[in-house]
Amino acid sequence: MRKIILFFKEFALFLKEFVEDVKEDRDGIRLQIKIAVAAGAIAGTLMGFLGAIVGTILRHYSAN
């Protein structure tokens, strides 16, 4: 459980730094790249978290 909390704290820090970078940088192309990288990070995080939940559920029910 501590690892999950630590992960989300680090992810929140990443998002905070990203928002600060976006506020500083108004260049169109660089901004689009930063948004794409952040969207990929968010999507990857959510997919990993969902995969862990589904894996835990499947492991629990396959053991019985």
pTM of the model: 0.52
Q: Which amino acid is at 10?
A: E
Q: Tell me the domain boundaries of the chain.
A: 2-63
* Contact criterion met (CB below 8 Å) for 38 and 15: yes
Of the candidates 12, 16, 19, the one whose C-alpha atom is nearest the C-alpha of residue 35 is 19
pLDDT of residue 1: 62
Please determine, for residue 38, whether its predicted confidence score (pLDDT) is greater than 70.
yes
- State pLDDT tens for residues 41-55: 888 888 888 888 898
**What tokens does 6 get?**
């630590």
